[in-house]
Structure 1
């Protein structure tokens, strides 16, 4: 986050430092969470999203207990928009032999909030609704789509968009992901990404399809269970979302075996995630 200073001849957008005018670059999960937290504190928030639709894509994600604690304090209960609890964990060798089968209902009681599995599109939609709704504490956030940020002046507190528009703010938050354009303006250096050595392809499957197949049915017959298959240098992770109606698969493998290109569309997005 960059907060504007007050050098000679420059001032905050507001003479009174509260509320602040906040510009958030990126309207994904992180940007929307920041917007909700800030509007609840009474600040004026605008988000600048480079996509034309501002609609999330992708598969499912975990909501760890600590993350769920924040959401629940905001009045967001993920089970109301498709999340299911993680009640069991099954680990298998790559040929299917069970390594361990753990009932997590008792261990999960140590947490104040549940460990849940949710489709990221459902989560994004709820966060977007909460950030921009006229109902709730604070001033509704505004999302500007088709607004790609190309430059940030951290001293002046301005964001320049691709179309030449300049936006002034008291504070600028970069929430534009791993390929962030704003990051380098904070520390003045071009950030170089490095590989973890692993890549992942994701896909979704309707659970009823797996239940109708006698080969796969035993693998998905229990609700709220996360399953992993382990190989020497790769693994497959499967878990349900959308109230156990959808199965999310994550296929993790050495990244030198990935051959996805930009023309593959959603597959490239999934691999990068």
Structure 2
């Protein structure tokens, strides 16, 4: 075809966390990988993110964990407090027994820093990176897959990885659905840490739980920045307005919270807010030689802090599935991609569906009031530090695999 722009073993559509991780994983297997990104330059917006051990183990596998630790922070504790009274509800020590049990540390890192680490790893590994490409359609019939861009370019590949995010166009190949409005929005902000910053804010991930709202704080960049996220139920977002002209909703949502929470609101950048969407889980992510990955496959609410973590897990499982099916001693078996994608889908869909559903339930439990809040607080306070029964299914070393049977929503994490 005269308008074929690129021919490659694997084409990755999308240059976010999932796309870069998938590209790196398959390049490490030996594939010729081309990644196309709609933006004119690579980058990541947002503030901090939490990498639980199930994600930091993947970075360790790829030799990238030390780079993350060089720029990130290892918090000492994950602490939950009631936003109205300020009382501590429960805590988890994140070093020592926790790190030993799960085989890797809990790390908080700026999104742009993790994105840069993955991008540089892809560049060093030889992934071909192409910007300013909007893929509108994929055809997966025959012995090659083709992706068609808005400019008329055609990218040919043995396999295509769709990593085009929450509002994925390519998801329409396997599902007829759309993003689900959660009614909650987030404001985020990072500010320099000063002498006036409370010392405890420099050591822990702190989560304040309030009626229809919560607030999370933790340090970034070796303690140079303080990351703050405020999440609350928004009447305007419920009406369908992604952005809103003022901060009156934000102020109203936290009016009954303790002074520490009120003071933390000053750290937020209020020029833009982040509407919180997910999608209902789907069982099938594969159309022939194309597979979804990351938020294109399983967008989730942030309450378990697992969006980027699950994308890294996806890439690790895909790496193993492709190595077992496609990369043979004789060379690459291009015809085995469909089988590799089926193995990947089968391994991942049930686990990520559980994380999606649990995140929804977990968010509901955070934002209750009245009797439900009293009962929630009693339950939290009954849990002792280093009680791992509610964490193992998510952070355990058996990932990716069948989760243990524990109560839905029973895990400690934060947005």
Whether the TM-score (by the shorter chain) exceeds 0.5 is: yes
Deviates more, 1:28-37 or 1:148-157: 148-157
Could you say which residue in structure 2 is the equivalent of 1:233?
212
Alignment of 1:92 with 2:81, yes or no, is yes
Cα distance, 1:249 vs structure 2: 1.3
The correspondence for 1:203, drawn from 161, 169, 189, is 189
- Listed as ranges, the gaps of 5+ residues in structure 1 are 1-12, 15-19
Alignment of 1:68 with 2:56, yes or no, is yes
> What SS does the corresponding residue of 2:227 show, helix, strand or coil?
strand
Cα distance, 1:55 vs structure 2: 1.4
Could you say which residue in structure 2 is the equivalent of 1:158?
146
Cα distance, 1:103 vs structure 2: 5.7
Cα distance, 1:96 vs structure 2: 5.3
Q: Given the superposition, is the C-alpha separation of residues 262 and 74 from structure 1 closer, same or farther in structure 2, using an over 3 Å criterion?
A: farther
> What SS does the corresponding residue of 1:176 show, helix, strand or coil?
coil
Could you say which residue in structure 2 is the equivalent of 1:111?
102
**Which residues in structure 2 correspond to 1:25-40 (within 5 Å)?**
25-40=13-28
Could you say which residue in structure 2 is the equivalent of 1:261?
243
> What SS does the corresponding residue of 1:37 show, helix, strand or coil?
helix
Could you say which residue in structure 2 is the equivalent of 1:147?
133
Could you say which residue in structure 2 is the equivalent of 1:184?
172
1: CA distance, partners of 2:21 / 2:181? 27
2: CA distance, partners of 1:271 / 1:180? 16
1: CA distance, partners of 2:53 / 2:273? 29
Q: Aligned pairs, how many?
A: 242
Alignment of 1:102 with 2:110, yes or no, is no
Could you say which residue in structure 1 is the equivalent of 2:203?
224
2: CA distance, partners of 1:257 / 1:251? 16
Cα distance, 1:240 vs structure 2: 1.2
Cα distance, 1:196 vs structure 2: 2.7
2: CA distance, partners of 1:246 / 1:203? 10
Cα distance, 1:89 vs structure 2: 2.5
Cα distance, 1:262 vs structure 2: 9.4
> What SS does the corresponding residue of 1:85 show, helix, strand or coil?
coil
Cα distance, 1:112 vs structure 2: 0.5
Cα deviation digits, residues 187-211 of structure 1 (max 9, x gap): 2x43222123322221111122xx3
Report the TM-score when normalising by structure 1: 0.80
| Higher-RCO chain (CA-CA 8 Å, sequence separation at least 6) | 1
Q: Given the superposition, is the C-alpha separation of residues 199 and 261 from structure 1 closer, same or farther in structure 2, using an over 3 Å criterion?
A: closer
Alignment of 1:193 with 2:206, yes or no, is no
Report the TM-score when normalising by structure 2: 0.54
Relative to its length, the structure with more helix (as a share) is: 2
> What SS does the corresponding residue of 1:40 show, helix, strand or coil?
helix
Checking the alignment, whether the CA contact within 8 Å between 1:81 and 1:122 is kept in structure 2 is: no
